[in-house]
Amino acid sequence: MTKNLVVGAGFSGAVMANLLAEELGEEVLVIDKKDHIAGNCYDYRDENGIMIHKYGSHIFHTKSEKVWNYIRKFTDFNTYMHKVIGILDGIETHIPFNLNTLYDVFPNSFATKLEEKLLDVFAINTKVPILEFQKQDDDDLKFLANYVYEKIFLYYTTKQWGVSPKEVDGAVTARVPVYLSKDNRYFQDRFQGIPLEGYTKVVERILDCKNIKVKLNTEYKDINPDDFDRIFYTGPIDEFFEYKYGPLPYRSVNFKFETYNKPYYQSAACVNYPCNYDFTRIHEYKYYLDDQTDKTVIAKEYSEFFELGKNERYYPIPTEENDELYRKYFEDGKRLEKVYFLGRLGDYKYYDMDKAILRAIELFEHIKEKTNG
C-alpha cells in the first residue's frame, strides 16, 4: 500500500491526510512537533469553561461552497457573525470603516455631507482598499481618506508589520477595505461561524480514519523520508531546505492572557486599538461560542519579528523581496519528485483557514488524477 508522510497536523496537513486515507485508501502517518493537533487553530476549554483560541481568534468564513461542504462533514457551526470594534481617539466605532462609522466619529451634518459625496463617487456596498481610497480629488473626501489612513491603518499596520501601510503588499490592508455600506460585519462571506465544539475537535474528526496514524512531539528531522512514497510538508519551506538561500521573514505574535472576575470585559469579541497602546487588539474569547460564565478571559495581542528559537512563525510577510526569496525555494521544491509543499508555511502565503483547506483539496485532486492515470 502507498505510504504517505504528512508533516504538520494543522488544517492543511489534516485535510490532505483525510483525503488520501478516505478517497484513495492509502496509509498516512501525520507528525507534528507540537504536543497537540490543529496547528495555529488549536483551541481548548479552560478551567472557567471558556473556549480559548491559543494562537489568536479564529473565525471561519468562506465564499467557497466546496470548502463549506467539506468542513460541514465534520462539524456544525453557530451563526456567529464577526464584528470588530475600533477605538479611534477614544470613540468606539466599527471596523472596517463604513457609512455608520462616519456618524460615530464626525458631527452629523459633516457625516451627511461626506456620505452624499462618497455615494456620488462610489456605488453603495463597494469595498475600496485604503491605498485606492486615498486617490481623491475632492477636499472633503481627501480629508476623510487621510483621517481613515491615519486613525485606522497607519499605527496599527506599523505595530503589526513593523513598516507603514505603503510598505506592505497592498493586499494586506485591502483585507479590511473602506466599506460603502451600513453593514457592520467584518466579513460578508456567505458561509461563516464558529465550529460548535471548537477547531481542535474538527481537526480530530478530520484525522479520525482507519488508515491515519498521528504522532505528536515528532520533528520531521527525526523521520526517515525513505520509508515513504510521498511526503506532504506543511512546515516552513526554508527550514526544509536548511535555509540555503537565507531565512524567510515572518511576523510573530505574543498573547498576554488576563482573567477577570466579571462576566464581560469589552463590548465585542475583538476590539482594535489602531491609535493607542503597543498591542494591536484585545480578544475576549467567550463571545465566540457564547460561553456562559461569571469570569472572562482576554488576550492582548502584541506583534513582533519572528526569531528562530525565540518565538513562533505566525504571518508570512508579503513583500516583493520575500516573494523572490520564496520562489527560489519553490523552484527547488518543484524538482523533488515525491515531496509536496502546502499550507501557510509550506507555500509562504497569508492563507485564511478556508484557503488552506482549498489548497489541500486541490493538491489532493491533482495527486488523485496522477495516481489514477
Q: Which residues bind ligand FAD (CB under 6 A)?
A: 7-13, 31-34, 39-41, 55-60, 219-220, 234-235, 253, 314-315, 343-345, 351-354, 356
CB of 338 to ligand UDP, least distance (A): 33
CB of 163 to ligand FAD, least distance (A): 18
**For residue 127, with 0-12 CB atoms within 10 Å meaning exposed, 13-18 middle and 19 or more buried, which class applies?**
middle
Residue 156 engages ligand UDP in binding (rule: CB under 6 A): yes
Binding to ligand UDP in span 163-192, by CB under 6 A: 172-173, 175-176
- If the CB atoms of residues 86 and 235 are measured against ligand UDP, the closer one turns out to be 86
- If the CB atoms of residues 175 and 334 are measured against ligand UDP, the closer one turns out to be 175
CB of 344 to ligand FAD, least distance (A): 4
- If the CB atoms of residues 67 and 152 are measured against ligand FAD, the closer one turns out to be 67
Cα–Cα distances (Å) from 19 to 25, 56, 136, in that order, read 9, 27, 49
The rounded distance, in Å, linking the Cα atoms of 93 and 99 is 11
Residue 19 engages ligand UDP in binding (rule: CB under 6 A): no
**Which spans in the chain are helix H?**
11-23, 65-71, 99-105, 108-121, 130-133, 139-148, 155-161, 170-173, 199-206, 237-240, 320-334, 343-346, 353-371
Residue 272 engages ligand UDP in binding (rule: CB under 6 A): yes
**Nearest to residue 281, comparing CAs of 87, 61, 122?**
87
- Answer with the entry of ligand FAD, ligand UDP, none that 274 interacts with (C-beta below 5 to 8 A by kind): ligand UDP
Please provide residue 8's backbone torsions phi and psi, each rounded to the nearest 5 degrees: 110, 125
Cell of 78: 453557530
Applying CB under 6 A, which part among 118-126, 156-164, 319-327, 332-340 lies near ligand UDP?
156-164
Please provide residue 66's backbone torsions phi and psi, each rounded to the nearest 5 degrees: -65, -45
- Burial of 96-108, coded b for 16+ CB within 10 Å and e otherwise, reads bbbbbbbbebbee
Applying CB under 6 A, which part among 13-21, 25-33, 150-158, 364-372 lies near ligand UDP?
150-158
Question: Would you say how long the chain is, in residues?
Answer: 373
Residue 40 engages ligand UDP in binding (rule: CB under 6 A): no
- HSE of 311, CA atoms in CB hemisphere, 13 A: 17
- If the CB atoms of residues 50 and 71 are measured against ligand FAD, the closer one turns out to be 71
CB of 35 to ligand FAD, least distance (A): 10
Residue 157 engages ligand UDP in binding (rule: CB under 6 A): yes
